[in-house]
Structure 1
Amino acid sequence: MAGAFQYKPKFVDIRVRPPTAEEAARDDDVYALKPGERACDHPGCRLAATARAPKSREMLNEHYWFCQAHAAEYNRQWNFFAGMSEGEIRERQAQSATGDRPTWQFKASRFSREAAAAAHGFGKGQGYRDPFNLFGGGTARAAPEPERRRLGKLERNALADLDLDEDADEAKIRARYLELVKRCHPDSNGGDRSAEHKLQRVIKAYQALKKAKLA
C-alpha cells in the first residue's frame, strides 16, 4: 500500500544541451546598451554606467561614469589628500572652513591696485594706467604659460603604468605601449610568464588612454 503513494518523478534524465551559435549571439545582447545609456568608463567593461565619480581633486566638476561595481572599486581607492604634504593638507582644510573662498580686509592697503596706479602716475605727468603697455610707458606683460593638460585619476595611473610623463602625446604613448608589449610578452622571453602581470597592466592602461582619446 505504501508503494502506491510513493513519489515517482516523470522525468528522470534531464540533460542541458550547449547553446547554438545563434543562441549565443542573442545572449551577447545582454551587454548591449539601451537607448540613452552610456558605457562604463572602466577599460574593458561593457555594462551601462549608472554612477559618476570626480576625475581628481583638481577636476571635481568633471566626472567618470561607472557601473555600480566599478564605482564602488573607484570610491574605495579615492583619497582626496593623496600626494599632499601635511602643510598642504592643513592649508586645504583651512580653506574648506571658509568655503574655499578668499578673505580680505575692507580697508584698502598701500599695496592695492588703486594705490599702485596712483603712485605710478605721480611725478610723471601720467594720470592713467597702461597695463598692456600700449603706449610704451611701462613694462610689458609676461607671456602666459601654456595651459597644462587636465588629467583624471585613471589617465594618470595609466600613464604611470606605461612609465610616461603626463605631457606624453599620442605617438609617444603608442610607441611606449608597443615597446612594453614586446618586452613583457612570453613569446619574447622564451615562454617565461613572470612579466605577464605587467603585460596585463600595460594593456589595461592603453585601453584606458584610448577610451579617454589620448591614444
Structure 2
Amino acid sequence: MKLDSKLFDGIRIKSASGKTAQKPATQLCSWAGCKAEGTHKAPKGRNREGQFHHFCIDHVRLYNKNYNYFSGMGDEDVAAYQKDSLTGHRPTWTMGVNSAGEQRERVKSHAARDWSGGVQDPFDMFDGTAGRMKEPAKPVRHIKTLERKSFDTLELDGSESSVEIKARYKSLVKIYHPDANGGDRSFEDKLREIIQAYNFLKAAGFC
C-alpha cells in the first residue's frame, strides 16, 4: 500500500503539506468564572428539555446537588405533574365519555326504542314489546299411555299445573271418601283408583 494513500489521511499527524491538524474547539465549563474544560453535561431544567450545560467535574457535582426540576412550582402543580406521570403525560378520558363509550350509549338508546309500531313482524318475534324478543314457549311434555290414563282417572286433560292436579285430587277424595257418603263403601274402588293415579303422577314428576 502506498504511503500517500487516502487511507492514511485520517491518522496522519501532519498533512501532506506539512501543517499540523487542528484539534476541535474545547467546550469550556459553563460555571461563571471557571476556565476548565466542560466535559460533563447537565440538564438546563423544566421547559428546556434537550438543552444542557457543560460543566467540569467539580461544578457538575455542585450543580446536580442543588438541581430541582420542580423549582418554582406550587404544591398543586407538583401533584398534577406526578398524577400525569402515571400515564406518561398522555391524555386520558373518563370511562364512557370517549368515542367508544358514546357509541355504546347510542347502541343502548337504539335498542331501547319502541319498534313495535313501525316494524313488520310476520314471525311474531317481538310480540309488541320494545325491541325485545319474545320468550320461547315452554316445551310440551309428551304424555305416555299410563300417564294419560291417570289424568283421565282424575278427570284432567294433562295440561294442568301441579297445583291444579293436587286441588283436583283433594276434591275427588272428598267426594268418594266413605266419610263423605255416610259410611257407604261402594265408592272404595273408585277412591283407590284416584289415589293410585295421583301417586303415579306424583312419582312421574307432574305434581
Bigger-Rg structure (1/2): 2
User: What TM-score range do you get, normalising by the shorter chain?
Assistant: 0.3 to 0.5
Higher RCO structure (Cα 8 Å, ≥6 apart) = 1
